[in-house]
C-alpha cells in the first residue's frame, strides 16, 4: 500500500499496541474480578493504559513524520522505529512489574535499571517525538491558513 514510510512503520507498531491493549484489558478485567476490593495492581493498570495511549501516539507521530523536512539528512521512519521499540520495551517493563506484583512505584527507590529505563525512554520516545513535532511545524507553517503571527 502506498503509504509514507514513517506512517507505514507507525501503523505496524500500532498493531502491536492494539493487541497489547486488548490483552492487558482482559488481564485487568480478570484481576478486578479476583480482587476483593475490585482494584488491580498498579502496574497492571499502567500497562493497560500505556498500551491504549501508545497506539494513537505512534500513529500521530507517523503522520506528522510524513512532513519531516530533513528526510534527506535523517529519515523520519528511523525515528518512528526507535520510538516504537522504546515503547515496546517500556510496555514490557510494566507488564513484568504487574506480573511480579509487590512494587507499586518503581521510582520510589529506583534501581539502576529503572534510572537507565527513564533515560532510555526520554531519548527513545520523548526526544524523537518532540523533534518530529518541531519538524512538522516547520513544514506545515507555510501552508497554514490565517497565520497567527
pTM, to two decimals: 0.85
What confidence tier does 106 reach under pLDDT thresholds 50, 70, 90? confident
pLDDT of 9 over the 70 cut: yes
pLDDT of the residue at 148: 65
What confidence tier does 108 reach under pLDDT thresholds 50, 70, 90? confident
Beta carbons within 10 angstroms of residue 3's beta carbon: 13
What confidence tier does 139 reach under pLDDT thresholds 50, 70, 90? confident
Chain-wide mean pLDDT for the chain? 90
Query: Can you tell me the mean pLDDT for 118-126?
Result: 90
Query: What's the grid cell of residue 23?
Result: 490483552
In eight-state DSSP terms, residue 109 is S
Spatial CB neighbours of 6, under 8 Å, sequence gap ≥ 6:
61, 62, 63, 65, 66, 68, 76, 77, 79, 80
Query: Can you tell me the mean pLDDT for 64-77?
Result: 90
Query: Can you tell me the mean pLDDT for 100-129?
Result: 86
Q: Please name the residue ranges forming H helices in the chain.
A: 5-34, 42-65, 76-100, 112-121, 127-141
Per-residue pLDDT of 13-32, as tens digits, reads 999 999 999 999 999 999 99
Report the chain's C-alpha Rg in angstroms. 18
Q: Which burial class, exposed, middle or buried, applies to 33 when counting CB atoms under 10 A from its CB (0-12, 13-18, 19+)?
A: exposed
Amino acid at each position: 500500500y502506498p503509504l509514507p514510510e514513517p506512517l507505514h512503520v507507525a501503523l505496524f507498531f500500532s498493531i502491536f499496541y492494539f493487541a497489547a491493549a486488548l490483552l492487558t484489558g482482559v488481564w485487568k478485567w480478570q484481576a478486578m474480578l479476583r480482587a476483593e476490593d475490585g482494584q488491580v495492581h498498579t502496574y497492571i493498570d499502567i500497562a493497560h493504559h500505556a498500551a491504549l495511549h501508545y497506539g494513537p501516539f505512534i500513529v500521530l507521530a507517523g503522520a506528522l513524520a510524513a512532513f519531516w523536512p530533513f528526510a534527506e539528512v535523517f529519515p523520519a521512519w528511523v525515528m518512528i522505529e526507535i520510538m516504537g521499540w522504546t515503547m515496546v520495551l517500556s510496555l514490557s517493563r510494566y507488564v513484568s512489574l504487574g506480573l511480579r506484583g509487590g512494587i507499586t512505584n518503581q521510582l520510589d527507590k529506583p534501581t539502576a535499571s529503572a534510572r537507565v529505563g527513564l533515560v532510555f525512554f526520554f531519548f527513545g520516545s520523548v526526544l524523537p517525538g518532540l523533534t518530529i513535532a518541531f519538524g512538522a511545524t516547520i513544514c506545515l507553517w507555510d501552508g497554514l491558513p490565517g497565520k497567527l503571527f
